């Protein structure tokens, strides 16, 4: 039987998670508001999961990711996805060197710690696939050579929910590879006033570098050790299962609205994201609140809606809310 010393683990997490506050503080210097976004970026970073950001233009999506990269002493690449982008533009290619009379590898922008794939749905499927393969395998093959990607490797892709013309929506199988899908909302009135003031003054604060990639790797290890009770595991499975068979959870009304439910990858992501959330809350164990806190981000892109649901203007968030309110908490 597994033995876990929760007291010791708690103390360790208190120590190891101290950087979270500093990191959040540094990021908040640059990004006004968007606490939810910053928190989810941290969850993705700690849970080693990629993030898909969705929001209208001008909500500081790019700035948030750039700031996260600057807080960590890590290499950052921004790739603007366009319809004429090619896979080689991402992963790199072989270039013939006349001096050495041989082909040399020219690594692409994916060889970085933080990748911002801006407007990922502007590029065709072959480019998306190249990126998503790197996300999954965490290695890139150019010619005969396979190169592991640096650690931490975090892809933050953005997509615009409006302007669907001329875009290539990500297929369900590829969307599933993103651990979290974060919806970025407009700032509050007070926050927006502050943004105007900052821009008018022309003085933009910068975030200090407070972390090294090694710290992230260490923190990830601790996150994996966060204790998750069997009751919480069952709760996670119940939530995910309810997306597949809502009628078994006394939600027969949802059955005609769901085309397909969340995959087992959703269960895995929900578990690890809950652990990361507990870590951010400086706890050595997961409680149901942690699961619920990340449930929307983990599940929203993994539930397929039927035409009936779309006709009734029902979004996946409505489905998740119904499930959360119906599944018994341990």
Of 13, 287, 295, 298, which one interacts with another protein (CB under 8 A)? Answer: 287
140 forms beta bridges with 147
* Nearest-angstrom CA–CA distance, 157 and 61: 10
246 interacts with another protein by CB under 8 A: no
Q: Alpha-carbon dihedral of residues 148, 150, 153, 155, nearest 10 degrees?
A: -80
Burial class from Cβ neighbours inside 10 Å (0-12, 13-18, 19+) for residue 34 reads buried
Place of tokens 């929001």: 55
Cβ–Cβ < 8 Å for 189, 52: no
User: DSSP strand E in the chain: where?
Assistant: 51-54, 76-80, 92-97, 102-107, 114-118, 139-142, 145-148, 154-159, 180-183, 258-260, 304-305
- Which region, judged by CB under 8 A, interacts with another protein, from 69-77, 113-121, 191-199, 280-288? 280-288
Closest separation in Å from C-beta 289 to another protein: 5
325 interacts with another protein by CB under 8 A: yes
- Which region, judged by CB under 8 A, interacts with another protein, from 118-126, 145-153, 254-262, 279-287? 279-287
User: Residues with Cβ < 8 Å from 203, sequence gap 6 or more?
Assistant: none
CA atoms within 13 A on the CB side of 148: 3
Cβ–Cβ < 8 Å for 41, 70: no
User: Residues with Cβ < 8 Å from 275, sequence gap 6 or more?
Assistant: 47, 223, 224, 226, 228, 286, 290
Of 284, 296, 301, 319, which one interacts with another protein (CB under 8 A)? Answer: 284
Of 11, 229, 312, 317, which one interacts with another protein (CB under 8 A)? Answer: 229
Of 153, 227, 241, 296, which one interacts with another protein (CB under 8 A)? Answer: 227
Closest separation in Å from C-beta 256 to another protein: 22
- Which region, judged by CB under 8 A, interacts with another protein, from 42-50, 56-64, 201-209, 284-292? 284-292
231 interacts with another protein by CB under 8 A: yes
Of 286, 294, 295, 305, which one interacts with another protein (CB under 8 A)? Answer: 286
224 interacts with another protein by CB under 8 A: no
Which of 227, 241 has the CB closer to another protein? 227
Which of 217, 234 has the CB closer to another protein? 234
200 interacts with another protein by CB under 8 A: no
Closest separation in Å from C-beta 262 to another protein: 19
- The site for another protein (CB under 8 A) is made up of 4, 6, 10, 227, 229, 231-232, 284-289, 292, 324-330
């Amino acid at each position: 039987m597994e033995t876990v010393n929760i007291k010791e683990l708690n103390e360790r997490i208190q120590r190891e998670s101290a950087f979270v506050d500093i990191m959040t503080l540094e990021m908040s210097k640059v990004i006004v508001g968007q606490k939810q976004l910053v928190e989810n970026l941290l969850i993705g970073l700690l849970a080693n999961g990629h993030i898909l950001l969705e929001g209208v233009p001008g909500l500081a999506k790019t700035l948030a990711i750039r700031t996260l990269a600057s807080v960590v002493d890590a290499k950052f690449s921004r790739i603007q996805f366009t319809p004429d982008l090619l896979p080689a533009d991402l992963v790199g290619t072989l270039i013939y060197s006349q001096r050495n009379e041989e082909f040399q590898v020219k690594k692409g922008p994916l060889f970085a710690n933080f990748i911002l794939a801006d407007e990922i749905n502007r590029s065709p499927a072959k480019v998306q696939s190249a990126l998503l393969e790197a996300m999954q395998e965490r290695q890139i093959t150019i010619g005969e050579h396979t190169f592991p990607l640096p650690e931490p490797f975090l892809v933050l892709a953005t997509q615009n929910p409006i302007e669907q013309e001329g875009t290539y929506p990500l297929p369900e199988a590829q969307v599933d590879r993103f651990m979290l899908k974060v919806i970025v909302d407009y700032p509050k009135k007070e926050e927006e006033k502050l943004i105007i003031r900052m821009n008018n003054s022309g003085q933009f604060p910068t975030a200090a570098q407070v972390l090294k990639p090694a710290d992230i790797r260490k923190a990830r290890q601790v996150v994996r050790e966060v204790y998750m009770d069997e009751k919480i595991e069952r709760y996670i499975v119940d939530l995910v299962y309810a997306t597949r068979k809502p009628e078994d959870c006394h939600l027969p009304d949802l059955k005609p609205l769901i085309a397909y439910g969340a995959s087992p990858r959703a269960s895995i992501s929900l578990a690890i994201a809950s652990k990361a959330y507990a870590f951010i809350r400086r706890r050595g164990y997961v409680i149901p609140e942690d699961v619920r806190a990340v449930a929307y981000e983990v599940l929203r892109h993994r539930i397929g809606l039927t035409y009936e649901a779309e006709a009734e203007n029902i979004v996946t968030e409505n489905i998740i809310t119904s499930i959360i309110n119906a599944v018994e908490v341990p």
